[in-house]
């Protein structure tokens, strides 16, 4: 194994490890295959976690297929505080000098990664949709711009670590061969000036009674072309005919308050989904939305405008009034 270290931030969600860690680890393992080809030896894969973890969670990290688990703990780290967390992680980086550092672009990751970029004077790429090494060994980070219409390659050639955040749901989890990672404890030294600038008062978790869109196998998605509140309900009724289904939305549907669950918005600032079946109605096909569904297996779109952009990215095109088509569809589903 080479001296190079690939750090992966393992988000600690109330003592449990966020799924995004496993997505990033799967990608890091794939990167390591190429790195081995290039350098003759793989890099060390290292999970980095901040705050106390339950025993089960720590075990799930230790057995995730990583080589090392850095567990950063301190009494000031029991509650999330971005200033303290980024300082603690920066101290570990100064000591261990990682080559690459991967974060999920979650609320936490998008705060920690750029802060770390300043503390370590290095580059950070955001919301990557792919990561790879080219044949010269350069680490290429594919970053979407203009809502995903354009992808740009980003390189961080001169400074380390090369920090990248990756949108959750982009990489698929693959189980790595289990091995027992070495756990290394790290205690940062934190002075009081960092400690009390920001205080987490409360966490308001939204109870949801429906399946999260990112886990759904069938998504019925509505856009601005659904027209009004009452029309929206047909989406729910149709979703009921499918197992593991969820109703998704575009930004304007949220703005109009046809749904109040912002966790169901799909796209650049929402979720990335990969259902077997996606049925979208009254959606124009703005790249901001489309880039969130590009991994869907089968896309059906209904739009009254036969030239709508959404049709270019659809398997099935239906030109017509969303409500009329969906109502006929619902009536047909009743007969099943």
For position 42 contacting ligand FAD by CB under 6 A, the verdict is no
Query: Tokens in use for 320?
Result: 């017509």
Q: How far apart are CA 141 and CA 121, in angstroms?
A: 18
With contact defined as beta carbons under 8 Å apart, do 126 and 143 qualify?
yes
Residue 298 interface partner, choices ligand FAD, other proteins, none, CB cut-off 5-8 Å depending on type: other proteins
Query: Tokens in use for 156?
Result: 């961080």
Beta-carbon contacts of residue 210 (< 8 Å; ≥ 6 apart): 246, 247, 261
Candidate residues 50, 83, 234, 249; the one interacting with other proteins per rule CB under 8 A: 83
For position 286 contacting other proteins by CB under 8 A, the verdict is yes
- Residue list 282-321, contact with ligand FAD (CB under 6 A): 282-284, 286, 288-289, 302-305, 308, 321
- Residue list 86-125, contact with other proteins (CB under 8 A): 106-108, 110-111, 113-115, 117-119, 121-125
Nearer to other proteins, 191 or 336 (CB): 336
For position 173 contacting other proteins by CB under 8 A, the verdict is no
Q: Which DSSP category does 207 fall into? A: P
Nearer to other proteins, 129 or 183 (CB): 129
Q: How far apart are CA 169 and CA 129, in angstroms?
A: 10
Report how many residues bind ligand FAD under the rule CB under 6 A.
26
- Residue list 216-275, contact with ligand FAD (CB under 6 A): 223-225, 227, 250-252, 265-270
With contact defined as beta carbons under 8 Å apart, do 217 and 245 qualify?
yes
- Residue list 1-60, contact with other proteins (CB under 8 A): none
Looking at the chain, how many residues does it have? 336
Q: How many CB atoms lie within 10 A of CB 20?
A: 28
φ, ψ of residue 329 to 5 degrees: the values are: -65, -45
For position 144 contacting ligand FAD by CB under 6 A, the verdict is no
Residues that bind ligand FAD (CB under 6 A): 223-225, 227, 250-252, 265-270, 282-284, 286, 288-289, 302-305, 308, 321-322
């Amino acid at each position: 194994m080479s001296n190079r270290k690939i750090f992966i931030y393992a988000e600690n969600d109330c003592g449990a490890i966020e799924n995004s860690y496993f997505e990033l680890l799967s990608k890091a393992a794939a990167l390591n295959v190429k790195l081995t080809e290039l350098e003759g030896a793989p890099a060390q894969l290292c999970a980095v976690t901040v705050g106390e973890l339950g025993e089960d969670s720590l075990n799930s990290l230790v057995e995730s297929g990583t080589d090392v688990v850095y567990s950063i703990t301190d009494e000031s780290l029991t509650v999330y505080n971005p200033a303290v967390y980024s300082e603690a992680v920066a101290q570990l980086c100064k000591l261990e000098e990682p080559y690459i550092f991967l974060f999920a672009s979650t609320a936490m990751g998008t705060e920690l990664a750029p802060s770390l970029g300043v503390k370590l004077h290095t580059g950070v790429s955001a919301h990557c949709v792919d990561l790879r090494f080219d044949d010269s060994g350069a680490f290429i980070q594919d970053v979407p711009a203009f809502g995903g219409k354009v992808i740009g390659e980003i390189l961080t050639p001169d400074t380390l670590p090369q920090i990248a955040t990756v949108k959750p749901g982009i990489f698929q989890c693959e189980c790595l061969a289990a091995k027992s990672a070495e756990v290394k404890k790290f205690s940062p030294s934190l002075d009081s000036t960092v400690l009390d600038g920001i205080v987490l008062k409360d966490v308001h978790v939204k109870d949801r009674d429906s399946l999260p869109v990112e886990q759904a196998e069938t998504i019925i998605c509505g856009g601005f072309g659904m027209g009004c509140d009452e029309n929206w309900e047909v989406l729910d009724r149709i979703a009921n005919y499918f197992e593991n289904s969820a109703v998704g939305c575009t930004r304007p549907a949220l703005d109009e308050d046809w749904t109040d669950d912002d966790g169901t918005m799909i796209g650049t600032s929402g979720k990335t989904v990969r259902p077997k079946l996606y049925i979208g109605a009254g959606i124009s096909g703005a790249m901001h939305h489309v880039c969130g569904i590009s991994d869907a297996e089968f896309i059906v779109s209904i739009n009254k405008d036969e030239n709508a952009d959404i049709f270019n990215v659809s398997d099935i095109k239906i030109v017509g009034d969303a409500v009329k088509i969906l109502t006929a569809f619902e009536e047909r589903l009743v007969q099943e």
